[in-house]
Structures are given as structure tokens and as C-alpha cells.
Amino acid sequence: MQHKFITFIGGGNMAQAIIFGLLQQGYPAHKLMVCDPNPSRRDIFAARGIMVSDNNIEAAIRAEVVLLAVKPQMMEAVCLPLQAVDFSHKLLISIAAAISLQRLHDLLPSAANIVRVMPNTPALVSAGMSGLFAAPSLAQDLKDFAEALLAAVGKTCWLAQESDMHKITAASGSSPAYFFAFMEAMQLMLMDSGIDENMARLLVQQSALGAAKMAEQNPQISLSLLRENVTSKGGTTAAALAVFNRCGLDDMVKQAMAACIARSQEMEKLF
Ligand SMILES: NC(=O)C1=CN([C@@H]2O[C@H](COP(=O)(O)OP(=O)(O)OC[C@H]3O[C@@H](n4cnc5c(N)ncnc54)[C@H](OP(=O)(O)O)[C@@H]3O)[C@@H](O)[C@H]2O)C=CC1
Ligand SMILES: O=C(O)[C@@H]1CCC=N1
């Protein structure tokens, strides 16, 4: 992939996951810059040979690609001073949840080339999942660059319509947290039953990893069949799954994802 000069505005959790993932894939540190007001955040990137700054305007001016990685509620305060920068020949990538293309155009009127991305933190270990959206008028080479950037740290998909970004947020951006919560609950139960914390974690994380790998490596087998293959009639798994069914797991997951989508839609109006 091309190695354009990228300035990240915001050096928090998600920026770190993408940047460290990119470094692992050989993206040159001297082509990356991170702007964050927090010195301890800047130190994390400087330690990896990445240029750091607390001056968003200067850092944006020197970039070919500016990647906005601040919280949605900070977006307006961050963008208004950036209006001093001419974005007309730069690629602007926003990973912020719920901030629409129209809102980005309003906040940075000189930005002609914008891609919205919804990534997730497994980018850190090259196992990210990102949804991308851009206006149909965006030049193909810029779309290709944005896709290659995220493809370097995981898998990607382009959305046909921007409104689907809310669903992508529920499906990938937020979803690692659902799986962590599930693993936490399993670990807790094991610890309550007397299993040592580290062993409980190993048992849970290795089983989660194995299940995800089996799903990935057997695309021709439905998730239902993968589940059934574990479930002996009248056996132990069936006993566990019966509890999930009784407690309404499907409905709970549906409600949780719907809440995520609703919050994203609400935040789109707020910020
Ligand atoms: N975390 C995730 O899993 C995902 C996050 N996202 C999106 O990524 C974006 C960032 O999220 P996340 O990394 O979790 O958030 P963080 O709070 O971890 O990171 C945001 C960073 O921006 C810094 N910041 C605050 N003000 C400025 C400023 N004026 N200029 C530059 N940097 C500033 C913050 O510093 P300080 O803390 O000192 O305020 C913080 O270090 C959000 O919009 C979120 O929706 C998308 C997908 C997944
Ligand atoms: O929780 C959030 O709002 C962000 C967006 C997706 C993941 N984290």
C-alpha cells in the first residue's frame, strides 16, 4: 500500500489500536503523527518513533491524510479551529461514531474528500473489522487508500448507504465489548467455583478464540451447525443452552444491539 503521511487528531484507544496495528504491518513510523493534548498519551506514540504534537493545526497542515479520532462530543470543538487548514487536497477520514458526512462537511467546509470509517479495537492485533462509507463522487484512488489502510489491520466492507453506519457500529465498532462482557461473566463464574483467575481466563479466552477461528475457517458451515456440532443430545452443552434459551439470550442480544443503534442515531442529532 501507499505510505501517505497521516496525522491522527486524537491519540486515544482507537487511534492506538489502528496505529500499533499499522506499525506491526510495516507502515513507517515517520509517516505517522499523533496530536493529543494529553502528554502521557503522546508519550505512548513517541516511544514507538511516531511524531507527536499538541498543535492540531500545524499537524493537519503537514498531513496528506487527516484521521479524526476524537470523541463525537469533542468533534465540533476540535474542528472549528481546524477550519484554518485547507483540506481541499487532503483526504479526511473520520472514525467517530454518529458524525455524518454532512456534519463533517459543515464543520470543515474545505474538506472535499471524506471517508467515514467505523473500525474496532481488534485492529491492534490485525483482526479488526471496519465499515467504510464515502460519497459516490470521491475519487477511486482515495477510496482505495482508505480501504487499504484499514485492510492492513483487519477486514473491511463498504456500505451502500450511510444510515447503515449505525448498524455497523452495533455489529463491529461496539461488539468486541459484548464478547469481552460474555467472557468476563464466564471467568467470574469459574472463579466463584474455585478456579484460579488466570486459569479461568485461559479457559475462556482460548475457547472464544477457537470458536471464532472455527467460524472464520468454515464459512460453508452455518453458525447454527457449528453450535449443534458441540451439542450432544441430552448432554452438558444442551443443558447450558437451555438456560440461555429460557433466559431469552436471542432477545437480549437483539435489544442490546437495538439500543446501540438507537444511541448512535441519537448522538448523530446531538453532536
Ligand atoms: N474505542 C473504540 O472501540 C472505538 C471508537 N470509535 C470512535 O473513535 C473515536 C475515539 O474513541 P476512543 O479512542 O475510544 O476515545 P479516547 O477518549 O480514548 O480518545 C480520544 C483522544 O482524543 C483526545 N483529545 C481530546 N481533545 C482533543 C483535541 N482537542 N485534539 C486532539 N485530541 C484530543 C483525548 O484526550 P483526553 O482524554 O485528554 O480528552 C483522547 O486521548 C470516537 O469518536 C469513537 O466513536 C470507533 C470505533 C471503535
Ligand atoms: O462506545 C462508543 O461510543 C464507541 C463507538 C464504537 C465503540 N466505541
- CATH 1.10.3730.10: which residues of the chain? 175-270
Report the pLDDT value the prediction gives residue 125, as an integer from 0 to 100.
96
Nearest atom, ligand 2, residue 263 CA: 3
C-alpha grid cell, residue 90: 487532503
Residue located nearest, by CA, to atom 8 of ligand 2: 174
- CATH 3.40.50.720: which residues of the chain? 6-165
> In the structure, what pLDDT confidence band is assigned to residue 244 with cuts at 50, 70 and 90?
very high
Helices 13-24 and 39-46 pack at an angle, to 10 degrees, of 10
C-alpha grid cell, residue 134: 464515502
Residues making up the binding site for NADP(+): 9-14, 69-72
Residue 97 CB–ligand 1 contact under 6 Å: yes
Report the pLDDT value the prediction gives residue 117, as an integer from 0 to 100.
98
C-alpha grid cell, residue 219: 464459512
Residue 12 CB–ligand 1 contact under 6 Å: yes
Report the pLDDT value the prediction gives residue 241, as an integer from 0 to 100.
98
* Averaged pLDDT, 231-254: 98
Mutational pocket test of ligand 1: of 14, 115, 125, 129, the residue with most ligand atoms within 8 Å of the beta carbon: 14
Q: What's the rounded Cα separation, in Å, for the pair 166 and 188? A: 31
* Averaged pLDDT, 4-31: 97
Looking at the DSSP bridge assignments, the partners of residue 158 are 132
Report the pLDDT value the prediction gives residue 230, as an integer from 0 to 100.
98
Q: Of 117, 143, 160, 165, which Cα lies nearest the Cα of 17?
A: 117
> In the structure, what pLDDT confidence band is assigned to residue 223 with cuts at 50, 70 and 90?
very high
* Averaged pLDDT, 240-262: 98
Tell me the pLDDT of the chain averaged across its residues.
98
Residue located nearest, by CA, to atom 7 of ligand 2: 174
Find the helix or strand (DSSP H, E) in which 249 lies.
Answer: helix 249-270
Mutational pocket test of ligand 2: of 118, 121, 174, the residue with most ligand atoms within 8 Å of the beta carbon: 174
| CATH superfamily, domain at 175-270 | ProC C-terminal domain-like (1.10.3730.10)
What proportion of the chain, given as a percentage, has pLDDT over 90?
100
Residue whose C-alpha cell is 451439542: 231
Q: What's the rounded Cα separation, in Å, for the pair 32 and 190? A: 43
> In the structure, what pLDDT confidence band is assigned to residue 142 with cuts at 50, 70 and 90?
very high
CATH 3.20.20.150 fits 6-165, yes or no: no
